[in-house]
Amino acid sequence: MRAAVLVIAALALFAPIAAGLWHSAGAALGHLPALGSVGPSLAPLQDLVTQPGFATALRLTLGTGFTATLLSLALAIALAAAITNGPARIISRVLAPFLAMPHAAMAVGLAFVLAPSGWIARALAPVFGWARPPDLASVNDAFGAALILGLVIKETPFLLLVILAALTQIPLRAHIHTAQSLGYGIGAIWAKVIVPQLWPLIRLPVYVVLIYNLSVIDMALILGPSNPPTAAVFIARMFSSPDLAQIMPASAGAILLGLLAVASIAALWGGARAIARFGPIWVRRGGRGAPLNTLFFGTAMLGGALLLLGAAAMVSLALWSLAWRWPWPMLLPESLSFAAWARALGDFGPELAMTALIALASTAISLVLAVAWLETQTPSRREALIYLPLLIPQISFLFGMNMMLLQFGAQGNIGAVIWAHLLFVFPYMMIALTGPWRGLDPRYAHAAASLGAGRLRQLWAVKLPLLLTPICAAMAIGVAVSVAQYLPTLFLGAGRIGTLTTEAVTLASSSDRRITGVVTSLQTTLPFAAYLLAFVIPKLAHKNRSALQGAAA
Protein backbone atom coordinates (compact mmCIF):
# COMPACT_ATOMS: atom_id res chain seq x y z
CA MET A 1 0.00 0.00 0.00
CA ARG A 2 2.73 2.36 1.12
CA ALA A 3 4.87 1.57 -1.91
CA ALA A 4 1.92 1.77 -4.29
CA VAL A 5 1.06 5.29 -3.14
CA LEU A 6 4.69 6.30 -3.47
CA VAL A 7 4.87 4.99 -7.05
CA ILE A 8 1.59 6.66 -8.07
CA ALA A 9 2.68 9.98 -6.55
CA ALA A 10 6.05 9.75 -8.27
CA LEU A 11 4.45 8.97 -11.65
CA ALA A 12 1.82 11.68 -11.30
CA LEU A 13 4.02 14.43 -9.87
CA PHE A 14 7.70 13.83 -10.52
CA ALA A 15 7.60 12.09 -13.90
CA PRO A 16 6.13 15.09 -15.77
CA ILE A 17 8.60 17.47 -14.14
CA ALA A 18 11.59 15.22 -14.83
CA ALA A 19 10.46 14.54 -18.39
CA GLY A 20 9.65 18.21 -18.87
CA LEU A 21 13.07 19.34 -17.69
CA TRP A 22 14.68 16.62 -19.84
CA HIS A 23 12.89 17.75 -23.01
CA SER A 24 13.52 21.43 -22.25
CA ALA A 25 17.20 20.75 -21.64
CA GLY A 26 17.40 18.76 -24.89
CA ALA A 27 15.82 21.54 -26.91
CA ALA A 28 18.00 24.08 -25.09
CA LEU A 29 21.02 22.19 -26.43
CA GLY A 30 19.62 22.18 -29.94
CA HIS A 31 18.24 18.65 -29.82
CA LEU A 32 14.76 18.74 -31.29
CA PRO A 33 14.30 15.84 -33.73
CA ALA A 34 10.72 16.90 -34.52
CA LEU A 35 12.19 19.98 -36.21
CA GLY A 36 15.06 18.00 -37.69
CA SER A 37 17.59 19.50 -35.34
CA VAL A 38 20.12 17.24 -33.63
CA GLY A 39 22.34 18.49 -30.84
CA PRO A 40 24.16 19.06 -28.76
CA SER A 41 25.05 22.60 -29.62
CA LEU A 42 25.27 25.93 -27.87
CA ALA A 43 23.64 27.77 -30.76
CA PRO A 44 20.24 28.15 -29.00
CA LEU A 45 21.91 29.75 -26.00
CA GLN A 46 23.88 32.12 -28.25
CA ASP A 47 20.72 32.88 -30.15
CA LEU A 48 18.98 33.67 -26.85
CA VAL A 49 21.56 35.96 -25.30
CA THR A 50 22.00 37.96 -28.48
CA GLN A 51 18.27 38.73 -28.65
CA PRO A 52 17.83 42.47 -28.15
CA GLY A 53 16.66 43.26 -24.64
CA PHE A 54 17.35 39.87 -23.08
CA ALA A 55 19.98 41.20 -20.67
CA THR A 56 17.56 43.91 -19.54
CA ALA A 57 14.84 41.28 -19.16
CA LEU A 58 17.09 39.24 -16.87
CA ARG A 59 17.92 42.31 -14.80
CA LEU A 60 14.21 43.15 -14.53
CA THR A 61 13.42 39.61 -13.40
CA LEU A 62 16.05 39.67 -10.66
CA GLY A 63 15.14 43.21 -9.58
CA THR A 64 11.37 42.68 -9.39
CA GLY A 65 11.65 39.13 -8.03
CA PHE A 66 13.97 39.90 -5.13
CA THR A 67 12.44 43.29 -4.31
CA ALA A 68 8.92 41.88 -4.22
CA THR A 69 9.97 38.86 -2.12
CA LEU A 70 11.97 40.77 0.48
CA LEU A 71 9.37 43.53 0.68
CA SER A 72 6.53 41.00 1.16
CA LEU A 73 8.54 39.26 3.85
CA ALA A 74 9.27 42.52 5.70
CA LEU A 75 5.63 43.62 5.50
CA ALA A 76 4.33 40.23 6.61
CA ILE A 77 6.69 40.15 9.60
CA ALA A 78 5.77 43.69 10.65
CA LEU A 79 2.06 42.93 10.24
CA ALA A 80 2.43 39.73 12.25
CA ALA A 81 4.12 41.74 15.02
CA ALA A 82 1.28 44.28 14.94
CA ILE A 83 -1.39 41.56 14.91
CA THR A 84 0.04 39.53 17.80
CA ASN A 85 0.60 42.75 19.74
CA GLY A 86 -3.14 43.40 19.70
CA PRO A 87 -4.35 46.43 17.81
CA ALA A 88 -4.19 45.02 14.28
CA ARG A 89 -5.84 41.68 15.08
CA ILE A 90 -8.63 42.47 12.63
CA ILE A 91 -6.20 42.03 9.71
CA SER A 92 -5.89 38.30 10.34
CA ARG A 93 -9.63 37.98 9.78
CA VAL A 94 -9.68 39.63 6.36
CA LEU A 95 -6.91 37.61 4.72
CA ALA A 96 -9.19 35.08 3.00
CA PRO A 97 -10.25 37.27 0.05
CA PHE A 98 -6.62 38.20 -0.63
CA LEU A 99 -5.64 34.52 -0.64
CA ALA A 100 -8.60 33.49 -2.78
CA MET A 101 -8.19 36.24 -5.39
CA PRO A 102 -6.52 34.95 -8.57
CA HIS A 103 -3.29 36.75 -9.46
CA ALA A 104 -4.59 37.84 -12.85
CA ALA A 105 -7.76 39.34 -11.37
CA MET A 106 -5.77 41.20 -8.72
CA ALA A 107 -3.44 42.50 -11.44
CA VAL A 108 -6.35 43.73 -13.57
CA GLY A 109 -7.96 45.39 -10.55
CA LEU A 110 -4.70 47.09 -9.63
CA ALA A 111 -4.28 48.29 -13.20
CA PHE A 112 -7.79 49.80 -12.94
CA VAL A 113 -6.78 51.62 -9.75
CA LEU A 114 -3.26 52.68 -10.76
CA ALA A 115 -3.78 53.57 -14.43
CA PRO A 116 -3.65 57.24 -15.46
CA SER A 117 -7.44 57.08 -15.79
CA GLY A 118 -7.84 55.00 -12.62
CA TRP A 119 -9.15 55.73 -9.16
CA ILE A 120 -5.97 57.27 -7.74
CA ALA A 121 -5.60 59.70 -10.62
CA ARG A 122 -9.32 60.54 -10.43
CA ALA A 123 -8.97 61.30 -6.73
CA LEU A 124 -5.97 63.55 -7.42
CA ALA A 125 -7.50 65.26 -10.47
CA PRO A 126 -9.23 68.09 -8.55
CA VAL A 127 -6.02 68.76 -6.61
CA PHE A 128 -3.81 69.10 -9.69
CA GLY A 129 -6.53 70.38 -11.98
CA TRP A 130 -6.14 67.55 -14.50
CA ALA A 131 -8.78 67.97 -17.22
CA ARG A 132 -7.64 64.72 -18.85
CA PRO A 133 -5.96 61.58 -17.48
CA PRO A 134 -2.29 62.49 -16.92
CA ASP A 135 0.33 61.19 -19.32
CA LEU A 136 2.07 58.84 -16.89
CA ALA A 137 3.29 55.27 -17.22
CA SER A 138 1.88 54.28 -13.82
CA VAL A 139 1.20 50.73 -15.04
CA ASN A 140 3.67 48.73 -17.19
CA ASP A 141 6.42 51.12 -16.07
CA ALA A 142 9.92 50.31 -17.28
CA PHE A 143 11.22 49.57 -13.75
CA GLY A 144 8.53 47.04 -12.93
CA ALA A 145 7.27 49.05 -9.94
CA ALA A 146 3.61 48.24 -10.71
CA LEU A 147 4.52 44.55 -11.05
CA ILE A 148 6.34 44.63 -7.70
CA LEU A 149 3.30 46.26 -6.12
CA GLY A 150 0.98 43.58 -7.52
CA LEU A 151 3.22 40.74 -6.37
CA VAL A 152 3.60 42.25 -2.91
CA ILE A 153 -0.16 42.68 -2.47
CA LYS A 154 -0.73 39.02 -3.42
CA GLU A 155 2.20 37.48 -1.53
CA THR A 156 2.15 39.47 1.73
CA PRO A 157 -1.15 37.92 2.91
CA PHE A 158 0.18 34.44 2.04
CA LEU A 159 3.41 34.95 3.99
CA LEU A 160 1.45 36.53 6.84
CA LEU A 161 -0.73 33.43 7.08
CA VAL A 162 2.37 31.22 7.05
CA ILE A 163 4.00 33.32 9.79
CA LEU A 164 0.89 33.33 12.00
CA ALA A 165 0.76 29.53 11.71
CA ALA A 166 4.49 29.19 12.51
CA LEU A 167 4.20 31.48 15.54
CA THR A 168 2.09 28.87 17.31
CA GLN A 169 5.21 26.70 17.41
CA ILE A 170 7.33 29.12 19.44
CA PRO A 171 6.62 30.47 22.96
CA LEU A 172 5.87 33.92 21.57
CA ARG A 173 4.23 35.55 24.62
CA ALA A 174 6.76 34.23 27.12
CA HIS A 175 9.72 35.35 25.01
CA ILE A 176 8.22 38.79 24.45
CA HIS A 177 7.52 39.20 28.18
CA THR A 178 11.01 38.03 29.12
CA ALA A 179 12.67 40.40 26.68
CA GLN A 180 10.40 43.26 27.75
CA SER A 181 11.38 42.70 31.39
CA LEU A 182 14.98 43.14 30.19
CA GLY A 183 14.04 46.51 28.71
CA TYR A 184 13.52 45.66 25.03
CA GLY A 185 10.80 47.23 22.84
CA ILE A 186 8.57 45.23 20.50
CA GLY A 187 10.55 46.07 17.34
CA ALA A 188 13.86 44.98 18.86
CA ILE A 189 12.29 41.83 20.31
CA TRP A 190 10.96 40.80 16.91
CA ALA A 191 14.24 41.52 15.16
CA LYS A 192 16.49 39.89 17.75
CA VAL A 193 14.40 37.14 19.35
CA ILE A 194 11.36 36.18 17.28
CA VAL A 195 12.48 36.40 13.64
CA PRO A 196 15.62 34.23 14.17
CA GLN A 197 13.38 31.47 15.58
CA LEU A 198 10.75 32.03 12.91
CA TRP A 199 13.01 31.81 9.87
CA PRO A 200 13.63 28.03 9.85
CA LEU A 201 9.85 27.51 10.02
CA ILE A 202 8.96 29.82 7.11
CA ARG A 203 12.02 29.38 4.89
CA LEU A 204 10.38 26.98 2.43
CA PRO A 205 7.30 29.17 1.75
CA VAL A 206 9.60 32.17 1.27
CA TYR A 207 11.55 30.19 -1.36
CA VAL A 208 8.23 29.33 -3.04
CA VAL A 209 7.31 33.02 -3.15
CA LEU A 210 10.74 33.94 -4.53
CA ILE A 211 10.50 31.37 -7.35
CA TYR A 212 6.95 32.46 -8.12
CA ASN A 213 8.02 36.11 -8.31
CA LEU A 214 11.01 35.31 -10.54
CA SER A 215 8.90 33.36 -13.02
CA VAL A 216 5.42 34.93 -12.91
CA ILE A 217 3.77 35.37 -16.32
CA ASP A 218 0.18 36.57 -15.94
CA MET A 219 0.83 39.42 -13.51
CA ALA A 220 3.92 40.43 -15.47
CA LEU A 221 1.89 40.58 -18.70
CA ILE A 222 -0.75 42.79 -17.09
CA LEU A 223 1.35 45.04 -14.81
CA GLY A 224 4.96 44.59 -15.90
CA PRO A 225 7.05 46.42 -18.49
CA SER A 226 6.42 45.31 -22.06
CA ASN A 227 9.54 46.13 -24.02
CA PRO A 228 11.57 44.38 -22.89
CA PRO A 229 9.38 42.43 -20.47
CA THR A 230 10.64 40.24 -17.62
CA ALA A 231 12.64 37.17 -18.64
CA ALA A 232 9.75 34.73 -18.07
CA VAL A 233 7.43 36.73 -20.36
CA PHE A 234 10.29 37.15 -22.85
CA ILE A 235 10.70 33.36 -23.00
CA ALA A 236 6.96 32.67 -23.08
CA ARG A 237 6.63 34.97 -26.10
CA MET A 238 9.35 33.03 -27.93
CA PHE A 239 7.57 29.74 -27.13
CA SER A 240 4.35 31.17 -28.61
CA SER A 241 6.10 32.52 -31.69
CA PRO A 242 4.81 31.21 -35.03
CA ASP A 243 8.46 30.59 -35.95
CA LEU A 244 8.94 27.07 -34.54
CA ALA A 245 12.74 27.42 -34.60
CA GLN A 246 12.30 29.81 -31.68
CA ILE A 247 11.46 26.83 -29.46
CA MET A 248 15.16 26.06 -29.07
CA PRO A 249 16.38 29.46 -27.81
CA ALA A 250 13.18 29.65 -25.74
CA SER A 251 14.05 26.30 -24.15
CA ALA A 252 17.54 27.62 -23.47
CA GLY A 253 15.86 30.52 -21.70
CA ALA A 254 13.59 28.14 -19.75
CA ILE A 255 16.59 26.18 -18.50
CA LEU A 256 18.54 29.38 -17.81
CA LEU A 257 15.64 30.70 -15.70
CA GLY A 258 15.58 27.38 -13.85
CA LEU A 259 19.28 27.71 -13.04
CA LEU A 260 18.74 31.32 -12.04
CA ALA A 261 16.02 30.11 -9.66
CA VAL A 262 18.39 27.61 -8.06
CA ALA A 263 21.05 30.31 -7.72
CA SER A 264 18.50 32.71 -6.23
CA ILE A 265 17.43 30.23 -3.57
CA ALA A 266 21.10 29.64 -2.82
CA ALA A 267 21.64 33.40 -2.51
CA LEU A 268 18.70 33.77 -0.11
CA TRP A 269 19.90 30.77 1.89
CA GLY A 270 23.42 32.21 2.02
CA GLY A 271 22.12 35.63 3.04
CA ALA A 272 20.14 34.09 5.88
CA ARG A 273 23.17 32.07 6.97
CA ALA A 274 25.30 35.22 6.99
CA ILE A 275 22.71 37.03 9.11
CA ALA A 276 22.56 34.07 11.49
CA ARG A 277 26.36 34.11 11.68
CA PHE A 278 26.90 37.83 12.14
CA GLY A 279 23.57 38.88 13.66
CA PRO A 280 24.64 37.88 17.19
CA ILE A 281 27.42 40.50 17.02
CA TRP A 282 24.64 43.08 16.80
CA VAL A 283 22.55 41.34 19.46
CA ARG A 284 25.57 41.18 21.81
CA ARG A 285 25.79 44.98 21.89
CA GLY A 286 22.53 44.96 23.81
CA GLY A 287 20.85 47.95 22.12
CA ARG A 288 17.23 48.15 23.26
CA GLY A 289 16.39 49.51 19.83
CA ALA A 290 13.83 52.28 20.26
CA PRO A 291 14.22 53.23 16.54
CA LEU A 292 13.31 49.65 15.60
CA ASN A 293 9.87 50.24 17.13
CA THR A 294 9.33 53.10 14.71
CA LEU A 295 10.63 50.99 11.83
CA PHE A 296 8.28 48.11 12.64
CA PHE A 297 5.34 50.43 13.14
CA GLY A 298 6.04 52.21 9.85
CA THR A 299 6.42 48.93 7.96
CA ALA A 300 3.17 47.58 9.40
CA MET A 301 1.41 50.81 8.37
CA LEU A 302 2.78 50.42 4.83
CA GLY A 303 1.53 46.82 4.84
CA GLY A 304 -1.91 47.95 5.94
CA ALA A 305 -1.95 50.64 3.24
CA LEU A 306 -1.05 48.10 0.53
CA LEU A 307 -3.81 45.75 1.73
CA LEU A 308 -6.24 48.67 1.42
CA LEU A 309 -4.95 49.24 -2.13
CA GLY A 310 -5.61 45.55 -2.83
CA ALA A 311 -9.13 45.87 -1.44
CA ALA A 312 -9.69 48.89 -3.70
CA ALA A 313 -8.51 46.77 -6.64
CA MET A 314 -11.09 44.08 -5.80
CA VAL A 315 -13.89 46.63 -5.52
CA SER A 316 -12.88 48.34 -8.75
CA LEU A 317 -13.31 45.07 -10.70
CA ALA A 318 -16.89 44.71 -9.52
CA LEU A 319 -17.60 48.40 -10.08
CA TRP A 320 -16.24 48.45 -13.65
CA SER A 321 -18.25 45.33 -14.49
CA LEU A 322 -21.42 47.23 -13.54
CA ALA A 323 -20.48 50.66 -14.87
CA TRP A 324 -22.44 52.04 -17.76
CA ARG A 325 -21.22 55.63 -18.02
CA TRP A 326 -18.15 56.51 -15.94
CA PRO A 327 -16.65 59.73 -17.27
CA TRP A 328 -13.36 61.28 -16.09
CA PRO A 329 -12.80 62.41 -13.34
CA MET A 330 -15.83 61.05 -11.44
CA LEU A 331 -15.00 58.73 -8.55
CA LEU A 332 -18.08 56.57 -9.08
CA PRO A 333 -19.94 55.54 -12.23
CA GLU A 334 -22.66 57.91 -13.37
CA SER A 335 -24.98 55.03 -14.20
CA LEU A 336 -24.95 51.29 -13.62
CA SER A 337 -26.07 48.46 -15.84
CA PHE A 338 -26.06 44.69 -16.05
CA ALA A 339 -25.57 44.84 -19.81
CA ALA A 340 -21.92 43.76 -19.66
CA TRP A 341 -22.80 40.85 -17.38
CA ALA A 342 -25.66 39.73 -19.61
CA ARG A 343 -23.38 39.82 -22.65
CA ALA A 344 -20.40 38.16 -20.97
CA LEU A 345 -22.40 35.37 -19.34
CA GLY A 346 -23.47 34.34 -22.83
CA ASP A 347 -20.06 34.82 -24.41
CA PHE A 348 -17.93 33.33 -21.65
CA GLY A 349 -20.18 30.50 -20.47
CA PRO A 350 -17.90 27.79 -21.94
CA GLU A 351 -14.82 29.33 -20.27
CA LEU A 352 -16.64 29.50 -16.94
CA ALA A 353 -17.63 25.83 -17.20
CA MET A 354 -14.11 24.85 -18.28
CA THR A 355 -12.50 26.77 -15.39
CA ALA A 356 -14.83 25.13 -12.86
CA LEU A 357 -14.37 21.67 -14.38
CA ILE A 358 -10.55 21.86 -14.32
CA ALA A 359 -10.56 23.25 -10.79
CA LEU A 360 -12.92 20.61 -9.42
CA ALA A 361 -11.15 17.74 -11.19
CA SER A 362 -7.64 18.74 -10.13
CA THR A 363 -8.81 19.43 -6.57
CA ALA A 364 -10.65 16.11 -6.27
CA ILE A 365 -7.70 14.11 -7.62
CA SER A 366 -5.30 16.02 -5.37
CA LEU A 367 -7.47 15.34 -2.34
CA VAL A 368 -7.49 11.59 -3.00
CA LEU A 369 -3.72 11.66 -3.50
CA ALA A 370 -3.16 13.76 -0.39
CA VAL A 371 -5.29 11.53 1.83
CA ALA A 372 -3.59 8.43 0.42
CA TRP A 373 -0.21 10.03 1.04
CA LEU A 374 -0.97 11.11 4.61
CA GLU A 375 -2.50 7.74 5.48
CA THR A 376 0.42 5.68 4.22
CA GLN A 377 3.60 7.75 4.49
CA THR A 378 5.44 8.50 7.70
CA PRO A 379 6.74 12.05 8.16
CA SER A 380 10.27 12.51 6.87
CA ARG A 381 12.54 15.19 5.54
CA ARG A 382 12.23 13.70 2.06
CA GLU A 383 8.62 14.86 2.08
CA ALA A 384 9.89 18.33 1.16
CA LEU A 385 10.14 16.90 -2.39
CA ILE A 386 6.35 17.31 -2.63
CA TYR A 387 6.98 21.03 -2.89
CA LEU A 388 9.39 20.61 -5.81
CA PRO A 389 6.86 21.84 -8.43
CA LEU A 390 6.63 25.11 -6.48
CA LEU A 391 10.41 25.51 -6.34
CA ILE A 392 11.05 25.32 -10.09
CA PRO A 393 9.85 28.06 -12.44
CA GLN A 394 6.76 26.78 -14.26
CA ILE A 395 8.13 27.76 -17.64
CA SER A 396 11.25 25.64 -17.07
CA PHE A 397 9.38 22.36 -17.40
CA LEU A 398 5.85 23.00 -18.67
CA PHE A 399 6.77 23.32 -22.33
CA GLY A 400 8.97 20.24 -22.01
CA MET A 401 6.04 18.42 -20.41
CA ASN A 402 3.97 19.47 -23.38
CA MET A 403 6.60 18.04 -25.76
CA MET A 404 6.52 14.77 -23.80
CA LEU A 405 2.73 14.50 -24.12
CA LEU A 406 3.03 15.36 -27.81
CA GLN A 407 4.96 12.12 -28.28
CA PHE A 408 1.98 10.20 -26.91
CA GLY A 409 -0.46 12.32 -28.90
CA ALA A 410 -2.06 13.43 -25.66
CA GLN A 411 -1.36 17.10 -25.98
CA GLY A 412 -3.85 19.93 -26.09
CA ASN A 413 -6.69 18.11 -24.35
CA ILE A 414 -8.37 18.75 -21.05
CA GLY A 415 -6.71 15.77 -19.36
CA ALA A 416 -3.28 17.27 -19.99
CA VAL A 417 -4.38 20.61 -18.55
CA ILE A 418 -5.84 18.97 -15.43
CA TRP A 419 -2.61 17.02 -14.98
CA ALA A 420 -0.55 20.21 -15.19
CA HIS A 421 -2.84 21.94 -12.67
CA LEU A 422 -2.48 18.94 -10.36
CA LEU A 423 1.26 19.60 -10.07
CA PHE A 424 0.53 22.90 -8.30
CA VAL A 425 -2.79 22.14 -6.60
CA PHE A 426 -1.44 19.05 -4.81
CA PRO A 427 1.47 20.71 -2.94
CA TYR A 428 -0.70 23.59 -1.73
CA MET A 429 -3.36 21.18 -0.49
CA MET A 430 -0.66 19.17 1.26
CA ILE A 431 0.57 22.35 2.99
CA ALA A 432 -2.97 22.91 4.29
CA LEU A 433 -3.68 19.29 5.28
CA THR A 434 -0.42 17.91 6.68
CA GLY A 435 -0.47 19.76 10.01
CA PRO A 436 -4.10 19.04 10.99
CA TRP A 437 -3.90 15.44 9.70
CA ARG A 438 -0.82 14.52 11.69
CA GLY A 439 -1.98 16.61 14.63
CA LEU A 440 -5.18 14.59 15.05
CA ASP A 441 -5.14 12.66 18.31
CA PRO A 442 -4.26 9.10 17.20
CA ARG A 443 -6.38 7.66 20.01
CA TYR A 444 -9.58 8.34 18.00
CA ALA A 445 -8.47 5.89 15.33
CA HIS A 446 -7.17 3.50 18.01
CA ALA A 447 -10.53 3.60 19.76
CA ALA A 448 -12.28 2.83 16.46
CA ALA A 449 -9.87 -0.03 15.78
CA SER A 450 -10.51 -1.55 19.19
CA LEU A 451 -14.21 -1.50 18.29
CA GLY A 452 -13.42 -3.60 15.25
CA ALA A 453 -13.14 -0.93 12.54
CA GLY A 454 -10.61 -1.65 9.79
CA ARG A 455 -8.29 0.95 8.26
CA LEU A 456 -10.83 2.03 5.67
CA ARG A 457 -13.67 2.37 8.16
CA GLN A 458 -11.41 4.28 10.58
CA LEU A 459 -10.67 6.68 7.75
CA TRP A 460 -14.21 6.97 6.46
CA ALA A 461 -16.17 6.99 9.70
CA VAL A 462 -13.76 8.70 12.09
CA LYS A 463 -10.85 10.60 10.57
CA LEU A 464 -12.50 12.23 7.58
CA PRO A 465 -15.47 13.61 9.58
CA LEU A 466 -13.17 14.83 12.36
CA LEU A 467 -10.94 16.53 9.78
CA LEU A 468 -13.82 17.96 7.75
CA THR A 469 -12.83 21.56 8.50
CA PRO A 470 -9.21 21.33 7.28
CA ILE A 471 -10.32 19.15 4.34
CA CYS A 472 -12.81 21.80 3.23
CA ALA A 473 -10.17 24.50 3.71
CA ALA A 474 -7.65 22.51 1.65
CA MET A 475 -10.22 22.03 -1.13
CA ALA A 476 -10.96 25.75 -1.20
CA ILE A 477 -7.24 26.42 -1.51
CA GLY A 478 -7.04 23.80 -4.27
CA VAL A 479 -9.80 25.49 -6.25
CA ALA A 480 -8.18 28.91 -5.77
CA VAL A 481 -4.78 27.61 -6.92
CA SER A 482 -6.27 25.94 -9.99
CA VAL A 483 -8.38 28.93 -11.01
CA ALA A 484 -5.30 31.14 -10.78
CA GLN A 485 -3.17 28.98 -13.12
CA TYR A 486 -2.30 30.65 -16.42
CA LEU A 487 0.77 29.07 -18.00
CA PRO A 488 -0.24 25.40 -17.42
CA THR A 489 -3.55 26.04 -19.20
CA LEU A 490 -1.89 27.96 -22.01
CA PHE A 491 0.95 25.48 -22.69
CA LEU A 492 -0.73 22.14 -22.03
CA GLY A 493 -3.98 23.28 -23.64
CA ALA A 494 -1.95 24.25 -26.71
CA GLY A 495 -4.12 27.34 -26.99
CA ARG A 496 -7.23 25.21 -27.53
CA ILE A 497 -8.44 25.20 -23.92
CA GLY A 498 -9.73 28.58 -22.79
CA THR A 499 -10.40 29.40 -19.14
CA LEU A 500 -11.53 32.62 -17.51
CA THR A 501 -7.89 33.15 -16.55
CA THR A 502 -6.51 32.95 -20.08
CA GLU A 503 -9.39 35.19 -21.21
CA ALA A 504 -8.70 37.68 -18.41
CA VAL A 505 -5.05 37.99 -19.41
CA THR A 506 -5.99 38.45 -23.06
CA LEU A 507 -8.68 41.01 -22.23
CA ALA A 508 -6.46 42.96 -19.84
CA SER A 509 -4.80 44.71 -22.74
CA SER A 510 -8.13 45.48 -24.40
CA SER A 511 -9.87 48.77 -23.97
CA ASP A 512 -13.22 47.42 -22.80
CA ARG A 513 -12.97 47.65 -19.05
CA ARG A 514 -16.57 46.56 -18.56
CA ILE A 515 -16.07 43.15 -20.17
CA THR A 516 -12.67 42.78 -18.50
CA GLY A 517 -14.34 43.64 -15.19
CA VAL A 518 -17.02 41.01 -15.73
CA VAL A 519 -14.59 38.24 -16.69
CA THR A 520 -12.21 38.92 -13.79
CA SER A 521 -15.15 39.24 -11.36
CA LEU A 522 -16.47 35.93 -12.64
CA GLN A 523 -13.00 34.41 -12.28
CA THR A 524 -12.86 35.68 -8.70
CA THR A 525 -16.32 34.34 -7.90
CA LEU A 526 -15.19 30.71 -8.17
CA PRO A 527 -12.52 30.74 -5.43
CA PHE A 528 -14.65 33.06 -3.28
CA ALA A 529 -17.52 30.59 -3.51
CA ALA A 530 -15.13 27.75 -2.62
CA TYR A 531 -13.89 29.63 0.46
CA LEU A 532 -17.45 30.41 1.50
CA LEU A 533 -18.47 26.74 1.19
CA ALA A 534 -15.37 25.69 3.11
CA PHE A 535 -16.55 27.95 5.91
CA VAL A 536 -20.23 26.98 5.82
CA ILE A 537 -20.11 23.20 5.22
CA PRO A 538 -18.31 22.22 8.47
CA LYS A 539 -20.55 24.60 10.41
CA LEU A 540 -23.67 22.92 9.04
CA ALA A 541 -22.32 19.39 9.27
CA HIS A 542 -21.20 19.87 12.86
CA LYS A 543 -24.15 22.07 13.86
CA ASN A 544 -24.85 20.26 17.12
CA ARG A 545 -21.23 19.35 17.91
CA SER A 546 -19.78 22.11 20.02
CA ALA A 547 -16.37 20.39 20.34
CA LEU A 548 -15.93 20.64 16.56
CA GLN A 549 -17.26 24.19 16.22
CA GLY A 550 -14.22 25.81 17.75
CA ALA A 551 -11.95 24.41 15.08
CA ALA A 552 -14.11 25.82 12.30
CA ALA A 553 -12.52 29.15 11.62
Q: How far is the CB of 199 from other proteins (least distance, A)?
A: 9
Contacts (CB under 8 A) with other proteins, residues 197-256: 197
Toward other proteins, which CB reaches closer, 201 or 529?
Answer: 201
Q: How many CB atoms lie within 10 A of CB 196?
A: 16
Give the contacts of 547 (CB within 8 A, at least 6 positions apart): none
**32 DSSP 8-state letter:** B
**338 DSSP 8-state letter:** S
| Tally of helices (H runs) and strands (E runs) in the chain | 28, 2
Integer-rounded Cα Rg, in Å, for the chain is: 24
Q: How far is the CB of 70 from other proteins (least distance, A)?
A: 21
Q: If binding is defined by CB under 8 A, does position 85 make contact with other proteins?
A: no
d(CA 331, CA 89): 31
Toward other proteins, which CB reaches closer, 188 or 391?
Answer: 188
Q: If binding is defined by CB under 8 A, does position 174 make contact with other proteins?
A: yes
d(CA 365, CA 168): 31
Q: If binding is defined by CB under 8 A, does position 84 make contact with other proteins?
A: no
Instruction: Compute φ and ψ for 100, nearest 5 degrees.
Output: -75, -30
Candidate list 168, 181, 380, 511; residue touching other proteins; CB under 8 A: 181
> How many residues lie near other proteins (CB under 8 A)?
26
**What dihedral do alpha carbons 248, 253, 255, 261 form, nearest 10°?**
-170
Q: If binding is defined by CB under 8 A, does position 124 make contact with other proteins?
A: no
Stretch that binds other proteins, among 30-38, 116-124, 167-175, 256-264 (CB under 8 A): 167-175
Stretch that binds other proteins, among 169-177, 228-236, 406-414, 455-463 (CB under 8 A): 169-177
Candidate list 81, 82, 115, 193; residue touching other proteins; CB under 8 A: 193
Q: If binding is defined by CB under 8 A, does position 296 make contact with other proteins?
A: no
Q: If binding is defined by CB under 8 A, does position 21 make contact with other proteins?
A: no
Toward other proteins, which CB reaches closer, 281 or 456?
Answer: 281
Give the contacts of 29 (CB within 8 A, at least 6 positions apart): 39, 40, 41, 42, 44, 252
d(CA 262, CA 229): 21
Stretch that binds other proteins, among 1-9, 184-192, 296-304, 507-515 (CB under 8 A): 184-192
Site string for other proteins, 253-292 (x = CB under 8 A): -----------------------x---x--xxxxxx----
Toward other proteins, which CB reaches closer, 116 or 185?
Answer: 185
Stretch that binds other proteins, among 61-69, 137-145, 182-190, 425-433 (CB under 8 A): 182-190
Q: How many CB atoms lie within 10 A of CB 183?
A: 9
- At residue 208's C-alpha, the angle toward residues 463 and 63, to 5°, is 160
Instruction: Compute φ and ψ for 550, nearest 5 degrees.
Output: -60, -35
Q: Which segments of 129-217 does DSSP mark as H helices, in order? A: 145-167, 172-181, 186-189, 195-215
Toward other proteins, which CB reaches closer, 86 or 379?
Answer: 86
Give the footprint of other proteins on this chain (CB under 8 A). Answer: 86, 171, 173-175, 177-185, 192-193, 196-197, 276, 280, 283-288
